[in-house]
Amino acid sequence: GMLAHAFQPGPGLGGDAHFDEDEMWTNNFRNYNLYRVAAHELGHSLGLSHSTDIGALMYPSYIFSGDVQLS
């Protein structure tokens, strides 16, 4: 299913992000890391699109290697 989604910037819902409350959100490598998913969705809220780089934060599929490093 869908973990979360965000709207591109704009009027109305623009920039809003929504998270599936039925998911088991964590702050580690178990289940779904909230920080990782939130950072990805914030990227969409700021206007970023998906990346084809499998190691990129904006890669469209959820992959979590155990650390969240943003720079």
d(CA 70, CA 25): 19
Q: How much of the chain, in percent, has pLDDT values that exceed 90?
A: 66
| Residue 21 reports pLDDT greater than 80 | yes
Q: What is the mean pLDDT of residues 51-70?
A: 82
Between these two residues, 48 and 67, which has the higher pLDDT value? 48
**Residue 64 binned pLDDT confidence (cut-offs 50, 70, 90):** confident
- Please name which of 2, 10, 11, 12 lies closest in space to residue 40, comparing C-alpha atoms: 2
CA separation for the pair 24, 39 (Å, rounded):
17
Quick check: 6 and 18 in contact, CB under 8 A?
A: yes
Active site residue 23: no
Which one of 6, 33, 36, 41 is the catalytic residue?
Answer: 41
Q: Which residues span the domain enclosing 11?
A: 1-17+24-66
Asked if the structure places residue 71 within a domain, the reply is: no
Q: Are 8 and 44 in contact (CB under 8 A)?
A: yes
% of the chain at pLDDT higher than 70: 92
Report if residue 36 sits inside a domain. yes
Q: Is residue 30 part of a domain?
A: yes
Which residue shows structure tokens 């973990």?
3
34 vs 66, residue with greater confidence: 34
